[in-house]
Amino acid sequence: MAKVLVIEDDEGTAEEIVTALGDRGYMLDRAADGADGLQRARAGEWDVLVVDRMLPELDGLSVIETLRSEGISTPVLVLSALNAVNDRVRGLRAGGDDYLAKPFALSELTARLEALLRRPAEPRATVLRVGSLELDLLSRKACRGRRELELLPREFQLLEYMMRREGQVLTRAMLLENVWNYRFVPQTNLVDVHIGRLRRKVDSPDEPPMILSVRGLGFMLRAPA
């Protein structure tokens, strides 16, 4: 089971995160300040770090920068109350792998952690396959079995993102950020509409569905059982 180190100074937030991740079976440890967090991050073998940006003694970005300068490449999810684009860019430039602004839903945190833990195994692959679904990145063709799918450019991108993260819960915010490169949450159900259109093309009525809605969380693509 994945080992997660949570570096968060706020007792209440840390407790909620630890409880939520513990319920999902993660092995957890917690540090309440930057210096302690840095020490624990160096000492243990962690699969992922959850680092609050504003910490006493040593701020979160300094912790990440120090770890990166020492060659420790453990994935880091940065938590922060600062949500301007510049703050986000600063967090990622310091070495963070993903950035989650407070307040956040615990399901969003979990989904992003899982995405960090299960990064695409072969980022350079030119043909992606999930069950009978195949996506050729060079010829820009998509097929489910023998049926060729006619996808718009954005639908192609969306499907590629989902296929690279097969079996992972993808939240609406993650899709907006990574497929459309948008940092805002629209008022309408934009993502649902686009997913719905893609689903109609991928899952025909006589086929078992591959694009699934996960209630209260987002979406998931996986091969039919």
**Contact between 56 and other proteins per CB under 8 A:** no
> What is the per-residue burial (b if ≥16 Cβ within 10 Å, else e) of 197-214?
ebbebbbeeeeeebbeee
Tokens representing residue 106 in the block = 């615990």
Please, what is the minimum distance in Å from the beta carbon of residue 122 to other proteins? 29
Contacts with other proteins by CB under 8 A: the residue count is 21
Containing 40, the helix (H) or strand (E) segment is helix 34-43
First to last CA, the chain: 24
**Contact between 139 and other proteins per CB under 8 A:** no
Residue 119's Cβ-count burial label (10 Å; 0-12, 13-18, 19+) is exposed
Residue choice 127, 154, 204, 208 for contact with other proteins (CB under 8 A): 154
Enumerate residues 98-117 that contact other proteins by CB under 8 A: 103, 105
- Stretches 111-119, 135-143, 187-195, 203-211: which one binds other proteins (CB under 8 A)? 187-195
Judged by CB, which is closer to other proteins: 33, or 108? Answer: 108
Judged by CB, which is closer to other proteins: 25, or 216? Answer: 216
Please, what is the minimum distance in Å from the beta carbon of residue 11 to other proteins? 21
**Contact between 225 and other proteins per CB under 8 A:** no
Residue with token string 């299960």: 118
- Stretches 27-35, 135-143, 156-164, 193-201: which one binds other proteins (CB under 8 A)? 193-201
Which residues, other chains included, contact 162 with Cβ-Cβ below 8 Å and sequence gap of 6+? 170, 211, 219, 220, 221
Instruction: Specify the 3-state DSSP secondary structure of 115.
Output: helix
User: Apex CA 45: angle with CA 41 and CA 51, to 5°?
Assistant: 35
- Stretches 28-36, 46-54, 71-79, 175-183: which one binds other proteins (CB under 8 A)? 175-183
Residue choice 84, 127, 214, 223 for contact with other proteins (CB under 8 A): 84
Binding site for other proteins (CB under 8 A): 83-86, 103, 105, 154, 180, 182-190, 193-194, 197, 216
